Structures are given as C-alpha cells and as structure tokens.
Chains A and B, each alone.
Chain A
C-alpha cells in the first residue's frame, strides 16, 4: 500500500509539472444537467451554455445588455422589435451564422422533448420573422418592453444540426455546435466537462486554451480542492471559509452582490393560519393579516446582525427586492431599522401584547446559510414576545409544502423564508412573481406564497410591463416596489453576495447572476 502512495505522489508531481499555464480548472458548486442549451432553464446550464453558444444579446456582469450576435435592437412600432444581426460570424463547424439559425433556435428553444423547464418562459408570445439574412423582426401581441432582456437568455444554435438535435446529441458533442468562445470537447456527468478555445471566435481568441469544469458540490471539499491546487477557481465559497482562504496567502477572494433577495412571505389570505396559534395552542385569528404585526416582525429583525454574524459580512441588508444599481429599484427605500421596542409596541397596539405562537419554515439546502438565518429569526421573534418554533427541511420537501402543501393546493406555511433571483436583471421579475396577486390566467404571482393581494400595486406592475419607454417604466417599477414594501407584502432580509476564490495570479469578474464563466477568468 505504501508503494501505491509513493507512486501516486510521483504521478501527481508529474501531472503538475506537465500542466500548461493556459489550462484552467474550475470547481463548480452545482453541475449543469445537460449540454443542450435549450433543455433545462436552470442557472448552471445557462451559465455553461454561454461558453459554447452565443445569444443575440448578451448580459454583462451586472446584467446590463450588450450586443452579441445582434448588433442593434430597437422597437419600430409598439409591438415589433427590429434586430440587426452580426455579419461574418461562423459556427464551430464552419457554417455561416444568419437569420435562419435564429429562426431555428427560437423554434426549438420552447419545444425540447422531456424538458424539465423550457425556454418557453422567454420565447412565449413572440413571433420571429426573417426580413433578410441579417435582419429579423420580433412581434408580440401587446407592447413588450422586456423583449431584449428575454431573448438575451436564448442560446443560438446552428440550423445545420436540424434532424439530429436531440438532447443526447448535444451531450455526446455531435450537436453541440455554437458560435461561442469555446468548443465542446467532453461531458462526463458527475465528473467533468471539458471545452477548448475557439481560435476563430468573432470576439477574439479566448485567454484559455482549454477549460475543465469539475462539479464539487460539498463546500469544504471544494475549498480543499482549491487549497491542494486540484482546481484553479471555485464558485460558491462557503461564508465560513472565506476568512481561511484569505489567510491561506496564495488565494484571492472575489465578491459581488447578486440579484437574489432573501425575504419572508407571510400568510395574508387565511383567517386561521395553520402554523399560528395563541400561546396555549388554541386557534386565533391570523395576526399576519394586520399590517402592524407584519411591520413589528420586520422591526424585530436585526438585519445588520444577520449580515455580520450569520453571513459573516457576506451579504447586504435589504430594504427592497433588488440591490441598488439595478433597473427599477427605488432610491427612497432603506432597510427597516432594528427596533425591538418599537416591535413590541406595534404588537401591543394590534392586540398581541402577550404574543402568540408561530412556526417559521425554511429550506436547509437552498440558499446561503438558509437554516442558520431561520434559526436567528426564531431567536429574534422570540425576544419580542412571539413564541417561535423553527422548522427547516430539504428543499425537495420544502417547496412543495410551501407552494401547495396546504388544503386545496394552497401554500401550507404561515411564515416562510424564500429567495428570489431576478434572471431578467430588473425589478419587474420579482414584482410580478412575488408581489402581484396570484393569477393563473395572467401568469402572474406564480411564487406569491403569502398571497398578498393589492389592486393598486397590481395595476402599477401591469402598466410597467406594457411600457416600452425605459424612464417611465423605471418609475412605475420603483413606485410599485415602494407601495409593496410600505404595505409589507413581503419582508426583505438581505441580498446575497456571490463569492469566488482563485489561486494567486488569477482574477475572476464577479457576476450578479451567479454565473461562473471561464471568459471572466483572467491572469492578473
């Protein structure tokens, strides 16, 4: 056995010295489920697909739009966007890129067999028409200001793969033909994904000759892999390890705010909420219907404490649904100040001076430090007189119960911790999903687990979604946010901060959308 160790060490040394500086190994916290860019609308998949495929419009590190395969886009009337395509771009197989590829991509994207979550979310309601080889029109039924944001999620594939475009063909590499900065090389599920540089990339040759992604889902193992030099970059550095990575000396931490807000949804639709009772356990009228009680909860939360102690400084206190700098945020909203005395007063005003009993639910494997946050909330609510129990569970059990586990398929819990990442990079995404009244026919309020419902806010959101003028839309979104926060539709806690670590000599650009891109890794 000793012999084996010795030879293993030798092998390691040999490998290390044989590695070229232009090779990059990235340790990922979560693994893409497929190479097919249209198969599964999921963060890790979308992030990976950016290496091999381009989109018409790109999103930069703060999710601002930039021209990619489209050189320009503008509305030519209320319901039509005209998009000019880039000329001279070639796919990895040598074929030319033109409008036919775009049409084919938009046909395939919403309609991949067995897709667990399709791109229809972004393509629905849009008709793509070819004007000439390098011009297309996207038509919608109603004014749609978000067309550029939405199509920035749809990867463009080559129409040369028509007929053999099954998801399996992408995973094997046969159909994985894009225009992106890297070419597909190998996908070993659970083990690694390798890509190589596209020397002829229209945007210039990438910095790395080859990149290997290795999924290492367990946090400390990922950090250890960085320490041992098995990987050069890791995503999702656990907050507990940031300090030791910094102290390690040979490593750098890179941080940036994310588009993900962590917030509380409160049951605002049931006279008797299942997880709320009086102190002796007898049922009471749902106190969360009372805005004063909701405000008391918000005041009882020491956001600064959560950020500093639970998140170890790696989060930003939240007073609304997106951090400053994003499109549609309000400049007037500040995080609610910690005021336990004020909270007690409000509770007394509302007739709950003696408190009540409440169970707060949260996932334990979904957001950064989620179960610890729920526990800290439990402590803080207990301190203002609300007898709080804490229950956390794996997300596989949690989300079903939180969304539809109650009677009649309604949300089961009374008070839940959830997070929301704004994929579109602007405020309408959280507003329409979390705060708009739950409305199946309009496709609004999908994730409104507290069922807060306010006609005035709904109207503002709907108006914003139909306003093409940027400035006016920005205004409407900010107004809707202010009203929603003022009426405590939700209680925002904090914005997550994304953290990457690299070995010395490397630099990675932090992104708000949590994507880990090899294009963002450069030598210092």
Chain B
C-alpha cells in the first residue's frame, strides 16, 4: 500500500509539471493580456511599461523559466489583475466553491441513489418510468438556463429564497463557512441544486443500471430463496455492488463539480474559484489560469487516488498495484 501511494505521488508530480507546461504555453496563444488591462486612454509608453513590468517582453521560454523558478519556491505567480499571489487568491475562494460542490454532491447522492435503486427494482412501473424521464431533464437542459429558471421560480415568483450571492459566514472548528448560518443555507440551496441536477441524473441512471443487473445475479436469487428480508438484500447485497460505478463516477464528478462550477457561480454571483477562473479567462489573467489548473490537477489526482483505494475496499477482486504485472 505504501509503495503504491509513493508511486502514485511520483506520477502525480509528473502530471502536475506536464499540466503546468501545457497550460503555460497554451494560454500564451490566446490574446494579449495587456490589451485587456491597460486603460484605453493610456499611451504607447504606458503600454510598454506594463508589458515590461509583467515580463511579457521576454521570450516565452524565459518567462517559463521564471515561472518554474517561482513554482519551485511555492510561488505560482502574481495575478495581473489583482496584483496578489495567484495561489493565495484561489485558495481564498476555495471554501465557497467547496461548500457548493459538497452540497451539490450530497443532494445528488441523497436523492439520486434511492430514486435510481427504486427505478431499477421496479423497472416497468409508471413511477420508475417517470423518474427516468425526469432524470433526462437534468442533463439535457443547459445549466445557465436552468439556473435562471430556478431564480425566476423560487426567488422572483415565489420569493422563498434569495436570488444571488453567498450568505453570512460563521466559523466553527476553525472552518469559516456559510453552511453554519441559516442565511448561508438559504443562499446555497438554489446554486447547489442547480449544480447537482446533472450529477443527480447521472447517479439515478447509474444506480438503476447497476440495480437491474445485480437483481438478476444468482446471489440475489439465492438470498431471496434463503428468505432474507428484501430490505436486507437491498442494503447488504445490492448497495454494495452498485456502489462501484457510482463511486467511480462521483469521484470524477466531484472534481468536475469544483472545476466546472463556473457557470453556476456566474449566474448566482457565487464568490467561488470558478467565477475567479472565468473572469481570469475572459480577462487573460494568465497566472491565475495556470495556478488554478495546477491546483485542480492536484485535486483530481488526489480524488482519483481515493477512488482507487475505495475500489479496493468495495470490490476485493481489484488489487492495488499501481504498476501491475
């Protein structure tokens, strides 16, 4: 296990380095940040001053060298727009995105698995068909459209929930989060639901597919023949077996929830790192884009590792080798 973890760590370092290289050169193809940053009224001398200050006058290879030197010392660059360390800006906004993603994932699992299992156990029933049809809604409608519709319905028309922004935060056990206040909950519900919809559909479909297969397996038939209660069969035999694909996909989806909450965060004016990224992309704040993606890669690699470990716990047939036979 330790060898496995060490090897994975080594591989991860390579992945992060590779990512940094690709992104660094990739973002340099797009636009010129100076055109975005400098006031249109500035003269050519001022434009050249900014280019010099940001080191953009140097050859790209040299810029990359400075970036690597900084990165080796834990400095991922300074944001062009905010003038503060990019990594710090991203980490400051991470809690907001994390709470959003966690809530979305919880909503997806808490609603998705029971609905999916139910639809899988009684595939022909009308309610199961309705669940499946409704789940299609979740991923066929573009997020931005659903988001504004949710605001229209629950905030503007019904007036139940606030339309945008993050609620008051409170600190509990050293963690500052809006999940510790009622105001925070009222603000997070709509965006989390918006973000959860797609994942919920996915969970419903995966658990239904899994359930249908497992229910046909011999061991379920045996268990039934043995006279085990239905509840116990579902809990012990069914859930354990359908959890593998669900865990795989959700593991991936949690990362993508964090990385791609961009649209939801824009619509709901959520002060998370997704919004920071889209602003950075639109205004070509290269250091933020590079740092963001490096942080996301680390997150993904970690999540994948956890998923692989969970596999081995859930399915004894899978062994952890990392570099197998």
Q: A residues near B, CB below 8 A?
A: 1, 4-5, 7-12, 15, 27, 33-34, 39-42, 113-118, 120-121, 124, 167-168, 171, 188-192, 214-218, 220-222, 224-225, 227-228, 230, 365, 394-397, 399-400, 403-404, 420-421, 423-424, 429, 433, 440, 443-444, 446-447
Contacts and interface: CB of A to CB of B under 8 A. Distances in A.
A218 B267 contact: yes
A221 B40 contact: no
A22 to B, nearest CB: 20
A403 B269 contact: no
Nearest to B147: A221
A214 B165 contact: yes
A115 B39 CA distance: 11
Interface stretch (B79-87, B214-222, B308-316): B79-87
A118 B46 CA distance: 8
B78 interface: yes
B186 to A, nearest CB: 3
B35 interface: yes
Contact of A33 (B81, B160, B272): B81
Contact of A399 (B31, B54, B162, B186): B31
B151 A224 contact: yes
A85 to B, nearest CB: 26
B164 A447 contact: no
Nearest to A422: B41
A190 B93 contact: yes
Nearest to B42: A121
Contacts of B272: 190
Nearest to A46: B39
13 contacts: A41-B42, A114-B53, A117-B42, A121-B39, A190-B272, A214-B165, A221-B148, A221-B268, A399-B31, A420-B40, A443-B43, A443-B44, A446-B40
B173 to A, nearest CB: 21
Contact of B32 (A117, A225, A400): A400
Given A9-B186, A33-B81, A228-B163, A446 B35 contact: no
A8 B37 CA distance: 40
Contact of B37 (A116, A167, A420): A116
Contacts of A394: 282
Given A8-B185, A224-B152, A396 B42 contact: no
Interface string B65-100: 000000000000010111110000100110010000
A101 to B, nearest CB: 23
Interface footprint category on B: 35 or more
B286 to A, nearest CB: 11
B296 interface: no
A120 B163 contact: no
Contact of B284 (A7, A396, A403): A396
B160 A118 contact: no
A215 B269 contact: yes
B283 interface: yes
B175 interface: no
A397 B47 CA distance: 18
Interface in B147-186: 148, 151-152, 155-156, 159-166, 181-183, 185-186
Contact of B182 (A8, A190, A221): A8
Nearest to B85: A168
A314 to B, nearest CB: 21
B266 A218 contact: yes
Contact of B44 (A7, A168, A420, A440): A440
Given A189-B92, A190-B93, A446-B42, A120 B80 contact: no
A217 B269 contact: yes
B276 interface: yes
A198 B166 CA distance: 27
A228 B272 CA distance: 22
Given A39-B83, A396-B284, A8 B42 contact: no
Contacts, number: 185
Contacts of B185: 4, 7-8, 11
Nearest to A403: B35
B35 A121 contact: no
A216 B187 CA distance: 14
B50 A191 contact: no
A396 B31 contact: yes
Nearest to B276: A190
Contacts of B260: none
Given A117-B46, A221-B268, A400 B31 contact: yes
A214 B41 CA distance: 27
A445 to B, nearest CB: 9
B281 interface: yes
Interface in B94-149: 96, 107, 148
Given A11-B183, A117-B38, A117-B50, A396 B271 contact: no
Contact of B160 (A5, A41, A168): A5
B306 to A, nearest CB: 27
B228 interface: no
Given A11-B182, A41-B39, A433-B40, A225 B82 contact: no
Contacts of B160: 5, 8-9, 12
Contacts of A188: 271
A365 B96 CA distance: 26
Contacts of A420: 40
Given A118-B46, A218-B266, 9 more contacts: A34-B82, A41-B39, A117-B39, A118-B49, A190-B276, A216-B269, A221-B269, A224-B164, A443-B44
B3 interface: no
B30 interface: yes
B60 interface: no
A404 B56 CA distance: 15
Contacts of A118: 42, 46, 49-50
A334 B96 CA distance: 52
A15 B185 CA distance: 14
Contacts of B43: 121, 443-444, 446
B205 interface: no
B320 interface: no
A39 B163 CA distance: 32
Given A5-B189, A190-B93, A224-B156, A120 B49 contact: yes
B41 A116 contact: no
Contacts of A40: 37, 81
Contacts of B266: 217-218
A226 B266 CA distance: 17
Query: Nearest 5 pairs between A and B by C-beta?
Result: A8-B186, A443-B43, A190-B271, A191-B271, A116-B37
A228 B81 contact: no
Contacts of A218: 266-267, 269
Contacts of B284: 396
B13 interface: no
Contact of A396 (B93, B164, B282): B282
B212 interface: no
B45 interface: yes
A11 B40 contact: no
Greatest chain B CB density within 10 A among A7, A118, A396, A400 is at A396
B164 A167 contact: no
Contacts of A220: 148, 151
A224 B155 contact: yes
B189 A8 contact: yes
Contacts of B268: 221
Contacts of B31: 396-397, 399-400
A27 B53 CA distance: 33
Nearest to A11: B182
B89 A189 contact: yes
A461 to B, nearest CB: 14
A423 B267 contact: no
